Amino acid sequence: MTLADGVFAIAITLLVLDLYVPRGLDADEYREALHRLLPDLGAYALSVAVLGSFWRDHRRIFRDVREVDGHVIILSLTGLGVAALVPFPTRLLAEYGDVPVSVAVYAAAVAALGACHLALAAVLAKRPWLRDGTPSDTGSTPYLLESATLVLVFAVTVPLALVAGAAAMWLWLVLVPVRFVLGRRLQKAG
């Protein structure tokens, strides 16, 4: 858990390092610099939400895990590696959000991170001995369906962005009501 907490904290910290306004600007230049910073702030907010959500889910997935095996370690390290990579596609999205490949790269990174979390939850659900037999809500159908939906939406955005450009990002908003509904089902199941 400590390694994962550190990776997510560092990735979120790296997101903010490119946010700055140069010194010595007059009032008009200052306002213009703030205006140019808006795409960076938008990409930052999006990635903080994405990484924060995955950090929360990672802690939830591992909450009752007592031991790990090789598959769990590989999936976890792969997911952490992708999480650490998120600042790069975030920068692409902030600086080149109107370029379709930037949207596709960002969507691919989030889909890959989601796929790692989905695989971790599925593997741990099939190996209850790693939890001392304790069942977990992250192995439940609603949780796995919620995770799969996130992966599917971002994966579909990859080729869609190459055709529709930045407008493909609007598809990500479908996750808000879907995750809300599935999250409520998960709470009722629990």
Q: 4, 76 in Cβ contact below 8 A?
A: yes
Q: What pLDDT does 111 receive?
A: 97
Give the residue-averaged pLDDT of 165-182.
85
Q: What pLDDT does 134 receive?
A: 73
Q: What pLDDT does 189 receive?
A: 62
Query: What is the C-alpha to C-alpha distance for residues 123 and 151, in angstroms, rounded to an integer?
Result: 17
Query: H or E stretch including 59?
Result: helix 27-62
Residues 6+ apart with CB under 8 A from 171: 153, 156, 157, 160
Whole-prediction pTM value?
A: 0.89
Count of domains forming the chain = 1
Condensed to tens digits (0 to 9), the pLDDT of residues 27-40 reads 999 999 999 999 99
Residue 112's pLDDT band, with cuts at 50, 70 and 90, is very high
Residue range of the domain that includes 119: 1-188
How distant, in Å, are the alpha carbons of 17, 98, 113 from that of 3?
Answer: 21, 35, 16
Query: What is the C-alpha to C-alpha distance for residues 143 and 112, in angstroms, rounded to an integer?
Result: 17
What DSSP designation does 171 have?
G
Q: CB 99: neighbour CB atoms within 10 A?
A: 15
Q: What pLDDT does 177 receive?
A: 83
Query: What is the C-alpha to C-alpha distance for residues 55 and 132, in angstroms, rounded to an integer?
Result: 23
The token duo for 117 is 């979390």
Q: What pLDDT does 187 receive?
A: 67
Residue 131's pLDDT band, with cuts at 50, 70 and 90, is confident
Residues 6+ apart with CB under 8 A from 86: 11, 15, 47, 50, 51, 109, 110, 113
